[in-house]
Structure 1
């Protein structure tokens, strides 16, 4: 018999380009999740041989409510 894949209770949500943090949080709640962790990662770009931060990526980890 094939095993049934268990539905995950965790999901990652990334704040999209042009999307505010509040809009992302509303999207998380609309899908029935609750944010438990926020992670920010810098986005770098090489300029004249040097790495410079140009943006940041915000990712929320959420649990099913």
Structure 2
């Protein structure tokens, strides 16, 4: 029976209370290598005196990865 193929590219997101080192270890354990770090801002929309105001409240960190080649 053939092995199930993993996707060649995958995006890993930093979890709540997870360090970047722990995320990188998780990426390596799944057989991937990080190729790009992505930081996306998280905004909150607020109404002040009838005006809509957008303010940053955090960021989402993720890594784009590629599958490591395994040699047999």
Residue matched to 2:58: 55
CA RMSD of aligned residues (A): 1.6
In structure 2, runs of 5+ residues without a counterpart are none
What TM-score do the two structures reach when normalised by structure 1? 0.83
Instruction: Give 3-state SS (helix, strand or coil) of 1:25's partner.
Output: helix
User: In structure 1, how many angstroms separate the alpha carbons of the residues matched to 2:25 and 2:65?
Assistant: 12
User: Stretches of 4+ moved more than 4 A in 1?
Assistant: none
Task: Establish whether residue 42 from structure 1 lines up as the match of residue 45 from structure 2.
Answer: no
In structure 1, runs of 5+ residues without a counterpart are 1-5
Aligned residues: 61
